[in-house]
Amino acid sequence: MKKTIADMDLRGKRVLMRVDYNVPLDGDRKITDDSRIQASLPSVKYALEQGARLILMSHLGRPKGEVKAEFSLSPVAERLSCLLERDVRKLDDCVGEKVKEAVNSMEDGDVVLLENLRFHKEETANDPGFAGELASLGDIFVNDAFGTCHRAHASTEGVTRHLPSVAGFLVDKEIKYFEKVTGDPDKPFALILGGAKVSDKIPVIENMLDKIDYLLIGGAMAYTFLKSRLKGIGLSRVEDDMMDTVDRIFSLASAKEVSIFLPEDHVVADEIKETAKRKTTSDEHIPDGYIGLDIGPRTIKSYRSVLAESRTIVWNGPVGFFEMKPFSKGTREVAKFIAKLKATTVIGGGDTAAAVNQLKLGDKMSHMSTGGGASLEYLEGKELPGIAALNDK
Ligand code: AMP
């Protein structure tokens, strides 16, 4: 068990908190979705209520070690200031004399936001000198940025070599759910995998086959599985170099008594366009000239009956091309159905969380992960350096 912010005495301390403010911005640099800022509020408010001097740090986008105005965290400071109804001072850098002076002049209950960590290439290189400079700004380090915990960067791993280091509330919740589903899940356990590429999900399948009872496959990755079973897949997306791997997954699953469910019907179209000519197939075969873009009604029905009897459900990857309305039904129906269940439901970050959020069903799930890559690595059974580096209770 990792120590959390609640285990520490924060009064009068300089609390250096890594948050994930990598928010989407439009062309006018307006924040189009502030859910990542909202998600940080429990830890931020707690630290301030406890009388800490709070120093927030984050990356935004990929400035690749250069100062680029379009990646400044200024819009984030403004939004955070509105949400907290108090001043949030945004500093012009994240290290250096001026930053030190500003931090030294803080009083208990003050909050500052450092400028984009990735304006320095030393951040992603986990440069020890840079990590030491960041760490010198705080007395305690709090990591509340799950989305970057799978990377050993200066602000996630390097700083922990210098300071007592604990999890924020957001990271603590992520750890609890992922430890539960990968360590001691309630059975039966269904894993739903979708999305574009089989190759991205193979390490997850290999690790999770020991823990799950059912593997439900959707999205473009289903066509590679179907092709390996000699089903017609028309012009659907396929990874021909994965056939042997998929065969191996089928054998492993049968040895471990895991049932693999593949689509029994599909929504197909002659091109990937909202206006394309589309139809629903009568079985699992996709006719020549058509592209599979969503699971069909029979598949939705049978996936539902498997999910209804599951006590743990983990979902990563949309089961269709959900960004286009005509191909979003499968993903919507899966989301709506599992939102109603009593099971423990864990939604991987990235596209899956975006799809569930679009339907405003996020608060109906047990846990919506805030990290796409990080949640996948957890399910792959890998140690996340940003979490491993935190102090144990
Ligand atoms: P991933 O990042 O691998 O989870 O893939 C997510 C992407 O896969 C989303 O953009 C989906 O729209 C896309 N996707 C899902 N189903 C299909 C499909 N049948 N054909 C092509 N792309 C798909």
Task: For residue range 314-340, list pLDDT tens digits in order.
Answer: 999 999 999 999 999 999 999 999 999
Domains along the sequence of the chain with CATH: 5-170 (3.40.50.1260), 178-379 (3.40.50.1260)
The residue whose CA is least distant from atom 9 of ligand 1 is 195
Annotation marks residue 11 as catalytic: no
Distance in Å, CA 220 to ligand 1 centroid: 6
β-bridge mates for residue 381, sequence order: none
Check pocket membership of 206 for ligand 1, CB cut-off 6 A: no
The residue whose CA is least distant from atom 5 of ligand 1 is 195
| pLDDT score for 349 | 76
Distance in Å, CA 317 to ligand 1 centroid: 7
Check pocket membership of 296 for ligand 1, CB cut-off 6 A: no
Annotation marks residue 311 as catalytic: no
Integer Cα distance of 362 and 345 in angstroms: 10
Annotation marks residue 362 as catalytic: no
Integer Cα distance of 97 and 283 in angstroms: 67
| pLDDT score for 132 | 98
Q: Quick one: angle between helices 329-339 and 297-308, nearest 10?
A: 20
Annotation marks residue 373 as catalytic: yes
**Active-site position among 18, 36, 53, 201:** 36
| pLDDT score for 35 | 86
Atom of ligand 1 nearest to the CA of 294: 19
β-bridge mates for residue 25, sequence order: 31
- Could you report how far apart the first and last alpha carbons of the chain are, in Å? 6
**Active-site position among 68, 197, 304, 364:** 197
Reading the chain (393 residues) residue by residue, the pLDDT tens digits are 999 999 999 999 999 999 999 999 998 999 998 989 999 999 999 999 999 999 999 999 999 999 999 999 999 999 999 999 999 999 999 999 999 999 999 999 999 999 999 999 999 999 999 999 999 999 999 999 999 999 999 999 999 999 999 999 999 999 999 999 999 999 999 999 999 999 989 999 999 999 999 999 999 999 999 999 999 999 999 999 999 999 999 999 999 999 999 999 999 999 999 999 999 999 999 999 999 999 999 999 999 999 999 999 999 999 999 999 999 999 999 999 999 999 999 999 788 998 999 899 999 999 999 998 999 999 999 999 999 999 999
Total residue length of the chain? 393
Check pocket membership of 220 for ligand 1, CB cut-off 6 A: yes
